[in-house]
A and B are shown apart, each in its own frame.
Chain A
Amino acid sequence: MVFRLRIFFLQCSGPSMIPAFNQSGDVIFAEMFSAKTGRLDRGDVVIAIPPQNPKLRVCKRIIGLPGETVIVRSRSWFDDRPEFVPEGHVWLEGDNPSNSSDSRTYGPIPLAMVRGRVFFKAWPPSEIGRVARRVPEAASAVLPRETAADSSISGGLESDAPVRFVATETVVDERGRGGQGETRR
């Protein structure tokens, strides 16, 4: 990565972003400007540092924004769990949920660990073009900021989401307090 240059390119590999990116050989361009100025949004493809290993870089899509609640699907609906995204954090997921290690494994990650937004694919030649902002169908459902805070289940919830998410409130409260913790120098 070049230090101050706001654009960098890298080769990405791995199955987690199929079909947007191939298993291997893709060359992509990313810019650091959006990440530094807080212009990231749901559906953006980003380069981030996974929390377990500061030496690695991963390529994932932003699914949940600060203050939202992500409903993580599992094999059976009664094991679905709500996860609160604290202030200053984002929820990342790969496009290929069955083969991706992402926020569903390690939880929301701090925005400071998002290093760039992928905006262009330069290789292979048949797929040259802009990388679009879009949310794949396989992504987890997200409760918007407002509905996450009150206990009503109308609005924001998809029809297939289970009713017992009334209990979301307690989860939001617990994690939310941590988010407001005083962090002074």
Chain B
Amino acid sequence: MAQAAAGNVLRASLFAVPVALAFHDVIGSPVQVEGRSMQPAINPHLGPESQQGESLDVVWQDKRSISRHIYERGSIVVFRNPFDPKERVVKRLIGVDGDWVRPRGNKHNLMRVPEGYCWVEGDNHGVSGDSNHFGPIPLALIEAKVTHVLWPPGRMRSLGQDLPEIHRGLNPSQA
């Protein structure tokens, strides 16, 4: 009996594990987000000092569009930190290659995003280290698009595209 049960479990996992991994890599996966750089969209209640046991938002990262190299301006994306390959960072995609962007603290100068690169910014400018500090990053570092807040249940919602005011109207293809 026990052997048969173990055999069933083994057979089930032989099927389930590869399917789950493929789903995780191709379709998407949930991920918990730390930090305040995307307030108010993500972690709106987080204070300046992080405390133990504070509830962090869990978001859904959609990998389907990025794997087809579709990059939507104004959407929230997950990318690898260019200076630390092990860390993933969540920011808003402001411009893709060829776009004009307006770096902050430099209000009168426009900058063109080089070929293959993009411009990312946090929504909470005071606490966000983003393209305004390290410049444009390669598009290849982007891994997923953040589409929904999943947790806590009261904050469940979809996250749309939203281009900050100062970047609007710089490129003809944007509404």
> Residues of A with Cβ closer than 8 Å to B?
3-4, 38, 49-55, 86-89, 109-113, 178-185
- Say whether A52 contacts B115, CB under 8 Å: yes
- Number of B interface residues at 8 Å Cβ cutoff, please give it: 38
- B21 interface residue per 8 A CB criterion: yes
Question: What are 18 of the A-B contact pairs (CB < 8 Å)?
Answer: A49-B138, A51-B116, A52-B115, A53-B115, A54-B138, A89-B83, A110-B83, A110-B85, A110-B141, A112-B82, A112-B85, A113-B141, A181-B134, A183-B81, A183-B134, A184-B127, A184-B128, A185-B38
- Of A50, A55, A111, A183, chain B has the most CB atoms within 10 Å of the CB of A183
CB proximity to A under 8 Å, residues B103-145:
114-117, 127-130, 133-135, 137-141
Q: Give chain A residues whose Cβ lies under 8 Å from the Cβ of B133.
A: 178, 181-183
Q: Give chain B residues whose Cβ lies under 8 Å from the Cβ of A51.
A: 116-117, 138, 140
- B37 interface residue per 8 A CB criterion: yes
How many Å lie between the Cα of A185 and that of B127 in the bound state?
9
Chain A residue at minimum C-beta to C-beta distance from B88: A185
Q: Give chain B residues whose Cβ lies under 8 Å from the Cβ of A184.
A: 34-35, 37, 89, 127-129
How many Å lie between the Cα of A160 and that of B130 in the bound state?
40
Given known A4-B22, A185-B89, A185-B90, contact A110–B129 (CB-CB < 8 A):
no
Contact of A112 among B25, B69, B80, B129 (CB under 8 A): B80
Q: Quote the shortest CB–CB distance from B40 to chain A (angstroms).
A: 15
- Say whether A88 contacts B37, CB under 8 Å: no
> Residues of B with Cβ closer than 8 Å to A?
18, 21-22, 25-26, 33-35, 37-38, 69, 80-90, 114-117, 127-130, 133-135, 137-141
Chain B residue at minimum C-beta to C-beta distance from A4: B21
Q: Quote the shortest CB–CB distance from A87 to chain B (angstroms).
A: 5
- Say whether A182 contacts B129, CB under 8 Å: yes
Contact of B82 among A38, A88, A182 (CB under 8 A): A88
- Say whether B35 contacts A185, CB under 8 Å: yes
Q: Give chain A residues whose Cβ lies under 8 Å from the Cβ of B87.
A: 183
- Say whether A3 contacts B22, CB under 8 Å: yes
Q: Give chain A residues whose Cβ lies under 8 Å from the Cβ of B26.
A: 3
Q: Give chain A residues whose Cβ lies under 8 Å from the Cβ of B135.
A: 178
How many Å lie between the Cα of A86 and that of B35 in the bound state?
24
- Say whether B127 contacts A109, CB under 8 Å: no
- Say whether A183 contacts B89, CB under 8 Å: yes
Q: Quote the shortest CB–CB distance from A122 to chain B (angstroms).
A: 25
Q: Give chain B residues whose Cβ lies under 8 Å from the Cβ of A182.
A: 129, 133
Q: Give chain B residues whose Cβ lies under 8 Å from the Cβ of A113.
A: 138, 140-141
Q: Give chain A residues whose Cβ lies under 8 Å from the Cβ of B25.
A: 3-4
Chain A residue at minimum C-beta to C-beta distance from B116: A52
Q: Quote the shortest CB–CB distance from B119 to chain A (angstroms).
A: 14
How many Å lie between the Cα of A55 and that of B142 in the bound state?
12
Q: Give chain B residues whose Cβ lies under 8 Å from the Cβ of A4.
A: 18, 21-22, 25
